[in-house]
Amino acid sequence: MALIRIDGDDLVVVIEGLDKLWSFKGSLTIPLANVRGATADPGIATEPKGIRAPGSRVPGVITAGTFHQDGEKVFWDVRDPSKAVVVELADERYARLVLQVDDPRATVALVEDALSEAR
């Protein structure tokens, strides 16, 4: 699972527990200027993931790490698709972050409010 917070002009994602091991990442820091938006999307887990490198995938259990699809890199950390949030990025290493969070609605509101304030 991931914790998302706003720290000044940055979106900070902290990967928790063993997900750090499975995803090969402990945290990500993205300037808010490069965040296009966030949506709750429980259906994204059914979409093709692409090629993992590096990452872990056990269908129905966990999808974590970097996946390459259609020329883009997408970072995943999802065990429970019903709690998935997609953060769209621009001019970053990843095109999207697909993250499991405790409260998808609150997380989307946090990101969208921070983007509104930054603009």
Return per-residue pLDDT of the chain as tens, 119 residues.
999 999 999 999 999 988 888 898 999 999 999 999 999 999 988 887 888 888 888 888 889 999 998 899 999 999 999 999 999 999 999 999 999 999 999 999 999 999 998 77
pLDDT at position 53? 86
Secondary structure of residue 104 in the 3-state scheme: helix
Q: What is the pLDDT of residue 103?
A: 97
pTM of the shown model: 0.93
Tell me how far the alpha carbon of residue 99 is from its chain's centroid: 4
Domains of the chain: 2-118 (2.30.29)
pLDDT of the residue at 56? 86
What does the DSSP assignment read for 41-93?
A: -GGGGGS---EEEEEEEETTTEEEEEEEETTEEEEEEES-GGGEEEEEESSSS
